[in-house]
Amino acid sequence: MPQNVKRRRGRGRDSAAASHSSRSKVHLRLRVNGEEQEVACAPHSTLLEVLREDLRLTGTKHGCELGECGTCTVLLDGRPQLSCLLLTLECEGRPIVTVEGLAEGPRPHPLQIAFAELGAAQCGYCTPGILCAARSLLDARPSPTRQEIREALSGNLCRCTGYLKIFEAVELAARRMKDPAAQPSEETLHGRRL
Amino acid sequence: MMRLPRFRYHAPATLGEAAAILQGEGSQAMVVAGGTDLYPNMKRRHQTPKTLIGLRKIDALRGVKGSPARGLWIGPATILTDLEESALVREHYPGLYEAIHSISTPILRNMGTIGGNICLDTRCNYYNQNYEWRRAINFCMKCDGDTCWVAPGSDVCLAVSSSDTAPILCAFGARIQLVSKKGTRTIEAKDLYRRDGIDYLTKRSDEILAGITLPPAARWRSSYRKLRRREAFDFPVLGVAACVRFDGEIVAEARLWLGAVSMAPVEAAEAQAALVGRRLTEETIEEAARLAYPLAKPVDNTDFGLRWRKEMTRHFVREALLEVGPPGSPSGRGN
Ligand SMILES: Cc1cc2nc3c(=O)[nH]c(=O)nc-3n(C[C@H](O)[C@H](O)[C@H](O)COP(=O)(O)OP(=O)(O)OC[C@H]3O[C@@H](n4cnc5c(N)ncnc54)[C@H](O)[C@@H]3O)c2cc1C
Ligand code: SF4
Ligand code: FES
Ligand code: FES
């Protein structure tokens, strides 16, 4: 938390201040999924619009566009944030990770594998946002409890799965990231025995 | 796509510059912190400022300083998640922690600020709709129209104060520092609000919230209880903030505020008075709840039925006070 204000004083006042008129486009350098991207966009464009319409990264979905569903979630500065409510020009120079950036080289992220395997993605519309939120959780807490998972994903609506498969997939991915041989539990695969 | 309207954007690095731009541009300009309230409103064309002044680059508006013995200073542009993670807030002002933790979702709390929450626009089912929806009912008095659809005879707008931190900050007796080109003034949090859904803040449009100070936490215990349909996303339909200072076992001072039942937070003065000089027991708590709940006069412009909301006020006041508990009870209610 930025409690220590002094630490940052060195940064030049002029370089930090910026103004943009409403008509002309702004030229920005964005750091998306580890790559530097140059875009020219209107000052009032949201990160969601620039990701989908300019950078053609359509993995990030648009739903309500009002902060009420979570499907547009990306990681900004390592934290899940809603791209529909972020001004692109506020994101300049800050690390952005979208669902396209979760894979590790050619291999999907363990979360993505677990989601596919356990049917945690049905229509899939909520999945990119949920994967980003879950990735941030696992970065901070490699062995989250069910309650921590519920809480971390409480800003992402899913209309298909009923959430249970999603929670189980996050748990499986967390276990696999420590032990690649980890298998889904009996209950996950076949339901609870009576 | 619901796109934002056009605006000029400034991102000054100092408070002085921000105040100068705001003064220069007049009422056409607005400040934006996290944007989680303002941007949805702009997309629905509730507000269409010609100029926006982003506060994110102003370091002096962020952080938490102080101690429970001296009181806290909180920068208004501090992100809600950072406040939740502050041990000072969590351990010594638990009611404030609970209010912050209950706001919307963890993702929105990574973006929204406490200053934005304090200045949150009032809400109403006839107002928080997109432009086309509002046009279909010929708009309403709060924005673009002249009739109030909740109370057509009313000449004030009854849109609801829906900030979770407002009632608990009023209860703590927090003070708000307002800065403009003309100077600085400091007011009590409770004096920031006005019972008018349109002109709901006493802050002038050229003033910027520059600091929130909380009095020393010593011997105060606090809690916040919130009613809403879902445990995430939803704004409060009722918020109850309770702060109690004890002298031994006896209540020396009690503050009880209701949120989301009116255009501004409401102080339950009679209930407060009924607790002072007595122990916090089942009976005194029940009496306070009985005195507080008639103050909730919900109107039909948010969620749930009216009678039930009013009845729940009584239960939530009781729960908030039970949670505060007598001194020494093990609930981590502060000091
Ligand atoms: C789906 C959803 C659910 C939500 N649920 C809740 C909820 O449960 N409880 C709740 O309380 N809120 C809720 N909110 C509202 C909002 O997210 C929070 O209130 C948040 O704290 C607002 O902060 P912000 O920094 O994003 O405000 P902004 O949108 O940046 O600003 C809000 C207003 O405050 C003004 N402002 C901001 N900072 C300053 C300053 N320093 N000086 C002067 N004026 C200032 C702005 O001009 C604007 O008018 C919700 C929002 C959404 C989209
Ligand atoms: S209370 Fe009346 S005037 Fe105010 S927003 Fe609702 S309908 Fe409009
Ligand atoms: S599209 Fe961003 S929250 Fe719904
Ligand atoms: S899988 Fe369809 S919304 Fe979640």
3-state secondary structure string across A119-171: CCCCCCCCHHHHHHHHHHHHHHCCCCCHHHHHHHCCCCCCCCCCCHHHHHHHH
Mutation choice for ligand 4 from A127, A131, A153, A165, CB with most ligand atoms inside 8 A: A127
Shared-domain flag, residues B110 and B174:
yes
Residues 169-198 of B with CB under 8 A from A: none
Q: Which of A5, A42, A67 sits opposite B40 (nearest CB)?
A: A67
Shared-domain flag, residues A83 and A122:
no
Q: Which two tokens stand for residue A16?
A: 């930090």
* pLDDT confidence band for B335 (50 / 70 / 90): low
User: Number of folded domains in chain A?
Assistant: 2
Q: What percentage of chain A exceeds 90 in pLDDT?
A: 81
Shared-domain flag, residues B26 and B90:
no
Q: Which of B1, B17, B106 sits opposite A151 (nearest CB)?
A: B106
Shared-domain flag, residues A121 and A149:
yes
Distance B47 CA to ligand 3 centre (A): 20
Q: Has residue A6 got a pLDDT over 50?
A: no
Cβ(B320) – ligand 1 distance below 6 Å = no
Q: Has residue B318 got a pLDDT over 60?
A: yes
Shared-domain flag, residues B186 and B274:
no
The C-alpha angle with vertex B97 and arms to B166 and B31, in degrees rounded to 5, equals 45
Q: Where residue B41 sits, what CATH number does that domain have?
A: 3.30.43.10
**Per the CB < 8 Å rule, is A1 touching B85?**
yes
In a domain, B136, yes or no: no
Return the pLDDT at A8: 36
Shared-domain flag, residues B105 and B229:
no
Ligand 3 interacting residues, C-beta cut-off 6 A: A 62-65, 67-72, 82, 84
Between A18 and A121, the higher pLDDT residue: A121
Q: Where residue B203 sits, what CATH number does that domain have?
A: 3.30.465.10
In a domain, B253, yes or no: yes
The C-alpha angle with vertex B127 and arms to B123 and B133, in degrees rounded to 5, equals 150
Between B79 and B335, the higher pLDDT residue: B79
Single-letter residue type at A85: L
* Residues A117-166: tens digit of each pLDDT: 999 999 999 999 999 999 999 999 999 999 999 999 999 999 999 999 99
**DSSP letter, residue B130:** -
Q: Which two tokens stand for residue B221?
A: 């215990």
In a domain, B152, yes or no: no
Shared-domain flag, residues B90 and B183:
yes
Return the pLDDT at A18: 75
Shared-domain flag, residues A95 and A114:
no
**Per the CB < 8 Å rule, is B40 touching A66?**
yes
Shared-domain flag, residues B54 and B77:
no
How many angstroms separate the CA of residue B38 from the nearest CA in chain A?
9
State how far the Cα of B123 lies from the Cα of B143, in Å rounded to an integer: 12
Shared-domain flag, residues B112 and B210:
yes
Return the pLDDT at A7: 36
Give this prediction's pTM: 0.95
In a domain, A193, yes or no: no
Range of the domain at A157: 110-187
Shared-domain flag, residues A83 and A117:
no
3-state secondary structure of B135: helix
Ligand 2 atom with the smallest distance to the CA of B154 is 2
Ligand 1 atom with the smallest distance to the CA of B178 is 42
Residues 89-148 of B with CB under 8 A from A: 104-108, 110-111
* pLDDT confidence band for A98 (50 / 70 / 90): very high
Return the pLDDT at B331: 57
How many angstroms separate the CA of residue A188 from the nearest CA in chain B?
26
- Which segments of chain B does DSSP mark as H helices, in order? 15-25, 38-43, 80-84, 87-92, 94-101, 106-109, 114-118, 131-136, 165-172, 269-275, 282-292, 306-324
Cβ(B36) – ligand 1 distance below 6 Å = yes
* Ligand 4 atom 3, closest CA: A158
State how far the Cα of A74 lies from the Cα of A60, in Å rounded to an integer: 7
Between A80 and A2, the higher pLDDT residue: A80
In a domain, B203, yes or no: yes
In a domain, A8, yes or no: no
Burial environment of residue B138 by CB neighbours within 10 A (0 to 12, 13 to 18, 19 or more): exposed
Shared-domain flag, residues A140 and A89:
no
User: Number of folded domains in chain B?
Assistant: 3
In a domain, A192, yes or no: no
Average pLDDT over residues A83-105: 97
Shared-domain flag, residues B54 and B72:
no
Complex ipTM value = 0.96
* Residues A59-83: tens digit of each pLDDT: 999 999 999 999 999 999 999 999 9
* Residues B189-208: tens digit of each pLDDT: 999 999 999 999 999 999 99
State how far the Cα of B61 lies from the Cα of B77, in Å rounded to an integer: 5
Please say which residue of A67, A82, A101 terminates a domain: A101
Angular region, A120: left φ>0, alpha ψ -120 to 50, beta rest = alpha
Average pLDDT over residues B263-272: 98
Please say which residue of A101, A134, A165 terminates a domain: A101
Q: Which two tokens stand for residue B73?
A: 């200073």
State chain A's mean pLDDT as an integer.
91
Shared-domain flag, residues B202 and B64:
yes
Shared-domain flag, residues B22 and B91:
no
Shared-domain flag, residues A71 and A139:
no
Shared-domain flag, residues B205 and B299:
no
Please say which residue of A101, A121, A152 terminates a domain: A101
User: End-to-end alpha-carbon separation of chain B, Å?
Assistant: 50
Cβ(B116) – ligand 1 distance below 6 Å = yes
Q: Are B37 and B115 in contact (CB under 8 A)?
A: no
Shared-domain flag, residues A138 and A170:
yes
In a domain, A19, yes or no: no
Return the pLDDT at B119: 98
Which H or E run contains B259? strand B250-259
Residues 70-129 of A with CB under 8 A from B: 70, 73, 79-82, 85-87, 89-90
* pLDDT confidence band for A15 (50 / 70 / 90): very low
The full DSSP string for B184-214 is EEEEEGGGGB-S-SSS-B-S-TT-EEEEEEE
Q: Lowest mean pLDDT: which of A11-15, B95-99, B127-131?
A: A11-15
Q: Where residue B307 sits, what CATH number does that domain have?
A: 3.30.390.50
Q: Has residue A3 got a pLDDT over 70?
A: no
Could you count the other beta carbons within 10 Å of the beta carbon of residue A93? 9
Q: Are A47 and A74 in contact (CB under 8 A)?
A: yes
* pLDDT confidence band for A191 (50 / 70 / 90): confident
* pLDDT confidence band for B325 (50 / 70 / 90): confident
Comparing C-alpha atoms, which of B224, B260, B228 is closest to residue B242?
B224
User: End-to-end alpha-carbon separation of chain A, Å?
Assistant: 49
Return the pLDDT at B93: 97
* Ligand 4 atom 2, closest CA: A123
Q: Where residue A34 sits, what CATH number does that domain have?
A: 3.10.20.30
Q: Has residue B286 got a pLDDT over 60?
A: yes
Shared-domain flag, residues A116 and A96:
no
Q: Where residue A134 sits, what CATH number does that domain have?
A: 1.10.150.120
Q: Has residue B332 got a pLDDT over 90?
A: no
* Residues B60-110: tens digit of each pLDDT: 999 999 999 999 999 999 999 999 999 999 999 999 999 999 999 999 999
Q: Which of A18, A20, A87 sits opposite B35 (nearest CB)?
A: A87
* pLDDT confidence band for B1 (50 / 70 / 90): confident
Backbone angles phi, psi at B320, to 5 degrees: -60, -40
Between A184 and A192, the higher pLDDT residue: A184
Which H or E run contains A117? helix A110-118
How many angstroms separate the CA of residue A186 from the nearest CA in chain B?
30
Shared-domain flag, residues B10 and B91:
no
Distance A166 CA to ligand 4 centre (A): 10
Range of the domain at B9: 1-58
* pLDDT confidence band for B177 (50 / 70 / 90): very high
In a domain, B311, yes or no: yes
Average pLDDT over residues A95-111: 96
In a domain, B139, yes or no: no
Please say which residue of B58, B75, B95 terminates a domain: B58
Mutation choice for ligand 2 from B125, B144, B158, CB with most ligand atoms inside 8 A: B158
Please say which residue of B14, B31, B58 terminates a domain: B58
